[in-house]
Structure 1
Amino acid sequence: MKSLATRKEVKQSDNMISQLPDEILHCILSSLSFDEAVRTSILTKRWIPLWRHTSGLDFDGTRMIKPLTMLHNLDYNWSMLRAAREYGEIVRDTVLNRHLNGDLTMCCFRHFHKSLEPGELEALVQLVVKVYKNLCSLSLECCFDPRALVQPFGYMKLNFTPSIFSNLSSLVLNNYVMERATTSAFEGCEKLTTLKMKKMIMEEGAVNDVLEKCSSLERFSLIESTGFKKLRICHAGLKFLELRWLIMSEINVSVEDLQELVLDSLVCQTKGLKIDVVNVITFRSYCSSISKCLEESFLKTQDILENCSDLFVSRANNIFRNLLCMSIDLDLNSKREALALSFVLKSCTKLQSLEITIPVVKDSSSTGNYDDGALPFPKSIFWEKRPIMYNNHDHKLKYVTVRGFTGKELEVNFLEHLITRGTMMEKITIIYNSLVVGKATYLQSLRRASIYLSIILKSQSKNALIDVAQVVQDKLSGATPFGEAFDLHHIG
């Protein structure tokens, strides 16, 4: 009886979904990959034509065909040729010619490295751009099959016709080669507002050529890309900039109206880093724990804070003066890093939200390198001597989160300072190791300067910790440009 009742409930639920208007069902199907959307045709007769009217199509070739997993590796070349034919036929003949909706706004092509014939990707993109005039979002991703015993040599070069992206407002390119001669595809991109480039191999100057052609660009992400050593970003309309996992000799960012800046795991000499973003309101800076296992000299958040503040050199433009939100990883137990933070916080009079992640260190000696400078006062009163000037109402800091709290002296001293001196504080969240619960609860017992302040304690689950060794192994497996050196002139 129970199973019968359950089947009735499932049937009633299916009927309720089927009774929804077509417009809502189209939105649901648009969020699915193409193969999943087509599978819904078996539900009822009403569902059969619905996929043809979706506003988005996601062609995930890694799901639609499986030439590398179903055939023996000895048949590798033959399977690749078969895959190229099948993928092109499925997308071009079976899908696009049957998709009746002229209002397609989003399209995604995800394919294996060699599962397309030369020029096939360009032909497919040209087709959807020509047929669907309302197409505004396009995502292209080339994938390596992790289950293949032998990976093909070389990377796929993009060779699109000039101005092919001119009608798009959003574009994602993942894992391709782009030469300066092919940046003409971005000519006339006056509508493009969002551009994300990941795992790209680009000639020197190609990034600048692209940015110059995209006059209306507001959001730009450059991730795990290589082939160039100097990066200069000077774009008047840019609002969001994200730079992750880059190896550069020089990074020069000069964007007056930039609102959000994200820097993550960058390799660059401190003297080669120049950041002039005086109106930024959100600043995020991280150095991934994975980078500590690699040989490259990654910039730490401390380096960036020192470089962009008045700590060592008086600067006319303070990039932190309009900051509202800051999220960083910083070792509060290091006197040098704490000193950099104190200088920045003094200048952040508008800062409302601060999030600090304390990196995991193997032993106490790992912080000794940053404590070689003696202070004229005991470390225990560091934050009393380097106050954030809470004796006036200029500072607006309200929300603070500290992750990885270990209960060490400078960490406790910092939080004590916020609790007992922060007159505007409203919420402090402490995510701690279960071994230091006593010191975490001690902070709750302190007399608070703000009657509105609530202190929330959260235990950090061991299951939530990342296995760094495994992540490093994945990073060095060849799927990232940090696993090997690249020369653009030797790309196949």
Structure 2
Amino acid sequence: MPRRTTKEKDMISDLPDEILVHCILCSLSIDEIFRTSILSKRWKHLWKNSSHLDFNWTRMNKSLLTRKLIATRNDAIKYGDIVKNMLHQHSGILFSCSFKHFLRLDVEVVKNLVEFVVEEKKKLSSLSLECELSYHHRRNIKYVMAEFKPKIFSSLCSLELTNYNLKLSVLSAFESCEKLKSLKLKSMFMENNIIDRILKKCLCLEKFSLIDSKGFDRLKIENQSLKTLEFLRLNVREIEVHVKELQDLVIDSLICLPKGLRIYSEKLLSFYSTYNPNAHWIWKSTDFLENCSDLLESQPTNIFRNLLTLSIDLDLNNIREAIPLSYVLLTCVHLNTLSINIPVKKATVSSEDYDYILSYPKSMFWEKREPYYFVLFNELKYVTIKGFTGKEQEVKFAELLITKSYVMEKMYIICGSTNVYKAKDLQSLPKRSSCLSIIIIDEFLWMHRMHATLLAAIQGAIRLD
């Protein structure tokens, strides 16, 4: 074999600058981007064309984190100087930018950085702001949001705020937010009416997420352009939603008064409800099924009538929880996908306690409802039962769907390794649908698969940005 007389170029070096910036630099944190500048003369200034910059102080101060010290005032000043210097050096088109800063960083510095990146980078469409707080600070302190210039957010399509105290003075920053499509507020402190007033200024908002936030006890959502609404880990007295075009509703571990949640959305297509099974003061999925339908009393709107996807945490073995599910399924005339996660409880409440409400044996519960499910059997295609243990009510429910659904294509039974043999008994049942596949998955393998899927989705989103 002849000896090579010249050094071959690596494949990355043959790529054009645009590809290197879009596919590599845009997926790196700011410290990793900075390291690329020492690779070669070509890479020295390449970062200046990156369309995404992520100024995360926890990555920019690794030595500080290694020593487990609390960030000082000088650290905050250094962070501000580095960010300001890099923003001034950046010469390309910046589409998205995120700042994760110190609690000790001066409010005016945050204000100036944000206003500079928004006003100077005319193409900026996505902005994320987060004040990094210690566990102690998260309970007692919130960084007061700066009084930005009026309309400073008006050019953005996506905005995310984390760990701030929003005062009324911040409302002017949301003036003319006609381009804003996605708004996420996480771990915020706000008084009543601030959220309502912000949403009324975002006339074209399509997705709103409110997570782990406090300071208010009532929520009123009236934005008519919203398509997706997420309430995660909130403690409120009342939530009233008037969103005519709402399509996706996500609720996780909500604390609310029994009849405090009122949702008036006739076009809802997807409903997701999860909860912590060991926190008894949190609303369960069955509370939502009862309160947001006309099961208990006449309601002006049954939000489940047009559902295509229903995903809930619910104990099929508990008749008290199965009853509202059975009723809602009667109203879901277009349901295509059903996912039920049976929570694991430290102290399981026996459904035997609820037998007295039935005039027939508990084992006949789903059989008695069979004649009314003709619509469900004609539409339902995909079913997932997670946390399957092989108990009687779980088996009866699965058996009903397997033997009566005309068009069902996939049923996923996710269970622990000790219950796999019980799940396999379902595969021997006569199937009404000739297309039906019953797929049994070990729970450990399922979690591994979900983690891999999530990681791939995140990497794909980074590449798209």
Q: Same fold (TM over 0.5)?
A: yes
Aligned to 2:305: 321
Pick which of 38-47 and 406-415 moved more. Answer: 38-47
Paired AA for residue 91 in structure 2 = L
Is 1:335 the counterpart of 2:319? The answer is yes
Give how far 1:42 is off.
Answer: 2.5
Q: Alignment partner of 2:233: what SS?
A: strand
> Structure 1 residues 220, 380: CA separation in 2 closer, same or farther (over 3 Å shift)?
same
Tell me, in whole angstroms, the C-alpha distance in 2 between the residues paired with 1:374 and 1:400. 28
Gaps of 5+ in 2: 449-465
Give how far 1:220 is off.
Answer: 0.3
Give how far 1:340 is off.
Answer: 0.7
**2:160 counterpart (167, 172, 177):** 172
Determine if contact 1:342/1:387 at 8 Å carries over to the other structure. no
1:61-460 counterparts in 2 under 5 A?
Answer: 61-66=57-62, 68-69=64-65, 80-93=72-85, 95-101=86-92, 103-114=93-104, 116-145=105-134, 154-159=141-146, 160-289=148-277, 292-293=278-279, 297-367=281-351, 371=354, 373-387=356-370, 389-391=372-374, 395-460=378-443
Determine if contact 1:56/1:107 at 8 Å carries over to the other structure. yes
> Structure 1 residues 150, 135: CA separation in 2 closer, same or farther (over 3 Å shift)?
closer
> Structure 1 residues 134, 463: CA separation in 2 closer, same or farther (over 3 Å shift)?
closer
Determine if contact 1:390/1:423 at 8 Å carries over to the other structure. no
Give the structure-2-normalised TM-score.
0.89
Determine if contact 2:320/2:351 at 8 Å carries over to the other structure. no
Aligned to 2:35: 39
Give how far 1:253 is off.
Answer: 1.0
Give how far 1:407 is off.
Answer: 0.7
Pairwise CA RMSD = 2.4
Tell me, in whole angstroms, the C-alpha distance in 2 between the residues paired with 1:403 and 1:88. 47
| Per-residue Cα deviation, 1:178-198 (whole angstroms, up to 9, x for no partner) | 012222110111111100000
Tell me, in whole angstroms, the C-alpha distance in 2 between the residues paired with 1:99 and 1:365. 60
Over the matched positions of the two proteins, sequence identity in percent amounts to: 48
| Per-residue Cα deviation, 1:87-127 (whole angstroms, up to 9, x for no partner) | 1110112x0121111x211010011222x123110110011
Aligned to 1:58: 54
Tell me, in whole angstroms, the C-alpha distance in 1 between the residues paired with 2:271 and 2:246. 10
Pick which of 61-70 and 260-269 moved more. Answer: 61-70
Give how far 1:66 is off.
Answer: 5.0
| Per-residue Cα deviation, 1:394-443 (whole angstroms, up to 9, x for no partner) | 74100000000011110000000000111121110000122222321110
Pick which of 22-31 and 456-465 moved more. Answer: 456-465
> Structure 1 residues 365, 221: CA separation in 2 closer, same or farther (over 3 Å shift)?
closer
Q: Alignment partner of 2:155: what SS?
A: coil
Give the structure-1-normalised TM-score.
0.85
Q: Alignment partner of 1:297: what SS?
A: coil
Gaps of 5+ in 1: 1-7, 466-492
Q: Alignment partner of 1:267: what SS?
A: coil
Tell me, in whole angstroms, the C-alpha distance in 2 between the residues paired with 1:366 and 1:128. 58
Tell me, in whole angstroms, the C-alpha distance in 2 between the residues paired with 1:383 and 1:458. 25
> Structure 1 residues 169, 57: CA separation in 2 closer, same or farther (over 3 Å shift)?
same
Determine if contact 2:315/2:321 at 8 Å carries over to the other structure. yes
Determine if contact 1:180/1:205 at 8 Å carries over to the other structure. no
Tell me, in whole angstroms, the C-alpha distance in 2 between the residues paired with 1:200 and 1:151. 10
> Structure 1 residues 157, 422: CA separation in 2 closer, same or farther (over 3 Å shift)?
same
Aligned to 1:490: none
Give how far 1:373 is off.
Answer: 4.1
Q: Which 4+ residue blocks in structure 1 deviate beyond 6 angstroms?
A: 149-153
Is 1:15 the counterpart of 2:15? The answer is no
Q: Alignment partner of 2:234: what SS?
A: strand
Give how far 1:310 is off.
Answer: 2.6
